Amino acid sequence: MHAVVFMKRVPDTESRIKIDRESKVVVEEGLNFIISPYDEYAIEEALKLREAKGGTVTVAAFGPEEAVTTLRKALAMGADEAVLIKDDRKEAYDPLRVARVLAAFVKARAADADLILFGRMSVGADNASVPSMVAEILDLPQANVVTKLEIEGTTATAHREIEGAVEKIAFSLPAVVSAQKGLNEPRYETLKGIMAAKKKPVPVVTPAELGISGEAAESKIEVLNIELPPSKQGGKIIPGTPEEAAKELVRLLRTEAKIL
């Protein structure tokens, strides 16, 4: 089985984010970057499938040269090979542009892939639409927000989260699957894996080399503004007896919160 996992380099979720208001981008200086957490579930699932059924695991990232560092983390986890699809542009938050490039990569470099895995979304953009767009472009079955995946031959069964329930679906391979928290427990890199990952080459391709150029390579989204969420206000302690506190709480909900 050949599993291809698309992952993204994102700021550590514990980082303090700063905004460059003039250029409308996140200031990267001083930030620690990691594999997007949901993508780790996708990588782990690919590794488990390889251990159970044999085959290879390819990880690929669409991003700047610095994404090689996070690709090597995936290699240290156990991936067989890694490829950087180099993009010199700043984050444009355009899922269709990204999907076109990733689909072109599959056609050009991984046409034999049995399974194409994503995290359910990348932290940061949070649009959760790239996996579905890639599946549509490649005309493949898809299962999103998957918490359990079973594969037997060329047939897969997935459990996926829906509102208030779990849906069980069956589909044929090749297919696109996006991983949700709970699918597995991602492994840590080993010292042996880290040392081996340092020696592995990480080939670099560009969208143009994959046949993506002209209008297809341009973002259709314009970022008008980017800002941090407003600071949270401190809570209030309402003094008095329970009856007095209840009356004051109702007054505040009506006059300040305006939810009554």
User: pTM for this structure?
Assistant: 0.86
- pLDDT, tens digit, 9 for 90 and up, residues 195-211: 999 999 999 999 999 99
**pLDDT at position 164:** 86
**Fold of the domain spanning 2-217:** Rossmann fold (3.40.50)
Cβ–Cβ under 8 Å, residues 121 and 145: no
- Closest C-alpha to 144, from 179, 186, 105, 191: 179
**pLDDT at position 26:** 81
The rounded distance, in Å, linking the Cα atoms of 168 and 77 is 29
**pLDDT at position 90:** 74
Average pLDDT over residues 221-248: 85
**pLDDT at position 222:** 83
- pLDDT, tens digit, 9 for 90 and up, residues 104-125: 999 999 999 999 999 999 887 7
Give the CA distances from residue 16 to residues 12, 33, 130, in Å, rounded to whole numbers and listed in that order: 9, 12, 26
* Domain map (residue ranges) of the chain: 2-217, 230-260
- Per mean pLDDT, which range of 26-30, 47-51, 53-57 is the poorest? 26-30
Length of the chain: 260
Q: Which residues contact 137 (CB under 8 A, 6 or more apart)?
A: 99, 100, 103
